[in-house]
Structure 1
């Protein structure tokens, strides 16, 4: 091979360019020039604007996943906050409703107790306050159970009233509780006085006859002066109920030509259904003095001493 055809250039590994210090100085001078030129003449601002315009779609696409993740996180955080607020609002609403019911119940009880105490002040009979526990289990009678018994001095036959009038009579006494038979029970009978006319009569319970919870004024003549709206109070002649306590109000008078007596339906004045607080009066039978013995039963010595 002729020597003229040989490439005498050294391989790239052995080529020597500018030194590293020279490159550093050139780059530093160029950077300094560009900074001074940019500060003075703002020559790079159009370049920056062009680059930003070109890169904006890329940035917009790159930020979409981040925004989606943030939106989902915000949604779940807002949903959790809304659920917590709703739960707290429900609890507050339930608590306020419960408190409102308690306030209304206390106001009703306060009103009933004030009326009951007002009625008690008009009576001179000793009494004991009691609370109704529950209704008796017998569906064929009208009875309630109160929380006072022999331990509190309750005796059988004692009348029971509420703030509106006569409620019933104690018919059975236990050590701690008592059974009260309501005025609407078919076994109850109360001597009454018509406050308008002064006529006396007897009111009987008629539960199940003319409707649940009613009363009937029986054995009144067909031409008796009784009108709807007449107030019937206790007459006091039975020695059980003090006189003047409201018992019932006449609601219907049926004068039948085929009968000598009128059918008179009454509505009890007391709350026979749903009563809560009652007053148990001391029976008047224990306060009535014993009947004096006849003269035939008195020994002659005492009879003569009495004449002297």
Structure 2
């Protein structure tokens, strides 16, 4: 038999194998057997423990990037929360600092108001409290505007003071506000008295380049020194006496002139003035006092006159009573 006649193809059994349905049935039976055996007899429990122990390092290695990602996210979220907490703390510190600044301002304002009340209590001149609104927009003058006017009883020429001393004088009065010309204005003038030597003089507003105020017409040999305190003399009939006005800043004596050049520094700073007292002009106050004294005198005179009339009436009635009593015995004797 020749080799070409041999059939080299495998038998049909080995060529085709198990059918798909047979494989499905075998694998399904095996799965059911394993599930029943594991559920009822725990046959695969040791194998599961061995596999879990063997796969644990691999699981940890595979979970390391996830853990690192989550740890990084937690760190970033923690940093964000810490930054937000820091910002919140900073905002609270700013608010606390603002409240502290307001408390300090209120304390300083209360101190100034207490000082104003002390001045008001010390002065016998009627006064009213006012607040400085703003500085007048005039580059050639020094004026401020207060929140009281003719409706509140403010009069032109009224002195304006604060806790440090004289601030200025009311020059214009409106219905609800008034303009106050400061002592540093070039047209301002106020009679002063040197508290150390009791020497009188007149202080004028000076040029801003030369100083806010100056004491003019002082003799070159006058007894005046730096640091002397000048107060109101009360001779002008406007300012009450004894109010602080300014201190002597510099004294310049030159041989070519018979007057000394005296620069003054006001005791009251207009830039720091917020609450002021508006006083009634001294002349008006004295006139009111004179009228009140005259009225009191007239009332006293009328009261004395009424008293004298009452006494005279009482004397007349007493005399009539005595005459009547004396006439009764005489009539009885005639009978």
Using the size of structure 1 for normalisation, the TM-score is 0.77
Instruction: State the match for 1:149 in structure 2.
Output: 149
Larger Rg over CA atoms:
2
70-79 vs 147-156, greater mean Cα deviation: 70-79
Return the offset for 1:239. Answer: 0.2
CA distance in 2, matches of 1:24, 1:225: 129
Number of residues of Structure 1 aligned to a counterpart in Structure 2: 273
What secondary structure does 2:272 align onto? coil
Instruction: State the match for 1:93 in structure 2.
Output: 93
Instruction: State the match for 2:322 in structure 1.
Output: none
CA distance in 2, matches of 1:244, 1:86: 57
Return the offset for 1:121. Answer: 1.3
CA distance in 1, matches of 2:230, 2:37: 120
CA distance in 2, matches of 1:108, 1:24: 95
Check conservation: 2:125, 2:285, Cα contact below 8 A. Answer: no
Instruction: State the match for 1:261 in structure 2.
Output: 259
Verify: 1:164 aligned to 2:164, yes or no: yes
Return the offset for 1:84. Answer: 2.5
Check conservation: 1:162, 1:271, Cα contact below 8 A. Answer: no
Question: Unaligned regions of 5+ residues in structure 1, if any?
Answer: 1-6, 39-43, 292-308
Return the offset for 1:69. Answer: 3.1
Using the size of structure 2 for normalisation, the TM-score is 0.72
CA distance in 2, matches of 1:28, 1:182: 110
Instruction: State the match for 2:250 in structure 1.
Output: 252
Return the offset for 1:64. Answer: 2.3
What secondary structure does 1:220 align onto? strand
How big is each residue's C-alpha offset from its partner over 1:39-96, in whole Å with a ceiling of 9 and x where there is no partner? xxxxx69x957x5664244112320232133124313422331232133223212211
Pairing of 1:33-48 with structure 2 (within 5 A): none
Q: Normalized per residue, which structure has more helix?
A: 2
Pairing of 1:276-295 with structure 2 (within 5 A): 276-289=274-287
CA distance in 2, matches of 1:189, 1:111: 29
Instruction: State the match for 1:216 in structure 2.
Output: 214
Check conservation: 1:158, 1:280, Cα contact below 8 A. Answer: yes
CA distance in 2, matches of 1:149, 1:33: 105
Instruction: State the match for 2:186 in structure 1.
Output: 186
Instruction: State the match for 2:176 in structure 1.
Output: 176
